[in-house]
Amino acid sequence: MTSQGNQQPRIGRIARTILFASLAIILPGVQWSLFGWLYLFLPLVAFYTLSSYGGFIGKRLLGVTAVIAFVAYLLLNNIEFFGFSFALLFSGYVLFVSADRHDSPAISGLKSSLALAGSWVVIFTVLSIGSDVSAYGQFLNSLDEGITEATNYYRQNNDISADTLLMLETTLHWMKVYIPLIMPSILGSFILTLTWFTMVVGNVLLPKTGGSAPWMSYQFWQLPEKTIWLAIGAGLFVLLPIQILRTIGINVLVLLSMIYCFQGLSIAVFFMIKWKVPLLLRSFFYVMIIFQSFGTILLLVFGIGDIWFDFRKLKQKEGNQPK
């Protein structure tokens, strides 16, 4: 009786995990407009499941979940969605493996981001088979058509003044020119944000549910100093008269700006906690600084400046540790 009583909650927990994970994968394919946001949590689902149950049991739970989702998408005749779901789960798995090897947050985030980016490249390649235009090209063409339709709409709108129309046409024109150039970094920024979200939430959630945090608190995260040389190299590429190198440089700079904003936010979190700012006020500050353009620039400045000024004095603490 005691043995059965101990096993039942565990079996029930496993069943709930499979159920909720399966729903998170399947529901976006059933009604994307209503449940598409669930995709943002799939890397976290994989990472949390593996971290909570361990690699041996966790991989089997995710395997069962993937099989259920695959069958459901076959019945829905929407197998492409399963491919993107699997890529998100795979990035969470890579993050777990990296954390299990005690990699730093920067290395773990890099591995997970590359895994998701590589999976998307494979998916776009597969979807392009048998088509004259690649899936990525079709995506860019649909954006171009949308901008063209928006331009025609504003031109036919008699309520818009000539000056406003000129400004809108100029803006939309430059969007058509530059969006295809920086689209890799736009998609990459989404991948980086999703990876960052998974790591931060997972790192906080695991200790609260009986597990242990795989990394130090987010307020102490710090990028390797050598990362700045990549930014300097990308800046030099932008100055070159060769278009392909300038495009690469611009995209790399956009991605690095996002990464240094994450570091700037960790500095803000550090000082908010150090100064014992109330949680409600802290939350309001975080929302304001993230969604305001000036706040984002401020995060970027502090993120880069931390390389030289070490605002949190983390390097001094490392130097004072006994060897």
Phi, psi of 78 (to 5 degrees): -145, 55
Looking at the fold, whether 223 and 202 belong to one and the same domain comes out as: no
CB–CB of 157/169 below 8 Å? no
Looking at the fold, whether 203 and 224 belong to one and the same domain comes out as: no
Token pair, residue 311, equals 């605002």
Looking at the fold, whether 149 and 243 belong to one and the same domain comes out as: no
Q: Is residue 159 part of a domain?
A: yes
Q: Is residue 296 part of a domain?
A: yes
**H helix and E strand count, the chain:** 12, 0
Looking at the fold, whether 199 and 130 belong to one and the same domain comes out as: yes
Choosing from 215, 246, 272, the residue where a domain stops is 215
Number of domain units in the chain:
2
Sign of CA dihedral 244, 245, 249, 250: negative
Looking at the fold, whether 17 and 143 belong to one and the same domain comes out as: yes
Q: Is residue 36 part of a domain?
A: yes
CB–CB of 49/21 below 8 Å? yes
Looking at the fold, whether 269 and 310 belong to one and the same domain comes out as: yes
Looking at the fold, whether 53 and 195 belong to one and the same domain comes out as: yes
Which pLDDT tens digits describe the chain residue by residue (323 residues)?
333 443 444 888 899 999 999 999 999 999 999 999 999 999 999 999 999 999 999 999 999 999 999 999 999 998 888 999 999 999 999 999 999 999 999 999 999 999 999 999 999 999 898 888 888 999 999 999 999 999 999 989 888 888 998 999 999 999 999 999 999 999 999 999 999 999 999 999 999 988 899 999 999 999 999 999 999 999 999 999 999 999 999 999 999 999 999 999 999 999 999 999 998 999 898 888 888 888 999 999 999 999 999 999 997 766 555 54
Q: Is residue 323 part of a domain?
A: no
Task: Give me the DSSP letters along 280-310.
Answer: HHHHHHHHHHHHSHHHHHHHHHHHHHHHHH-
pLDDT the model gives residue 9: 45
Domain of 208 in residue numbering reads as: 1-215
Looking at the fold, whether 142 and 186 belong to one and the same domain comes out as: yes
Q: Is residue 320 part of a domain?
A: no
Exposure class string for 46-76: b at 16+ Cβ within 10 A, else e: bbbbbbbbeeeebbebbeebbebbbebbeee
Q: Is residue 228 part of a domain?
A: yes
Cα 265 vs. chain centroid, distance in angstroms? 15
Looking at the fold, whether 211 and 225 belong to one and the same domain comes out as: no
The residue to which tokens 């930014």 are assigned: 231
Instruction: List helix spans (H) across 129-161.
Output: 135-156
Query: 18: helix, coil or strand?
Result: helix
Token pair, residue 271, equals 């000082």
User: 65: Cβ–Cβ under 8 A, 6 or more apart, which residues?
Assistant: 18, 21, 22, 25
Looking at the fold, whether 239 and 168 belong to one and the same domain comes out as: no
Q: Is residue 261 part of a domain?
A: yes
Looking at the fold, whether 102 and 150 belong to one and the same domain comes out as: yes
Looking at the fold, whether 196 and 226 belong to one and the same domain comes out as: no
User: What is the rounded CA–CA span in Å between residue 178 and residue 223?
Assistant: 29
Q: Is residue 321 part of a domain?
A: no
User: What is the rounded CA–CA span in Å between residue 234 and residue 246?
Assistant: 8
User: What is the rounded CA–CA span in Å between residue 291 and residue 271?
Assistant: 19
pLDDT the model gives residue 319: 57
Choosing from 183, 215, 247, the residue where a domain stops is 215
User: Is pTM, for the whole model, over 0.85?
Assistant: yes
Query: 14: helix, coil or strand?
Result: helix
Choosing from 215, 232, 252, the residue where a domain stops is 215
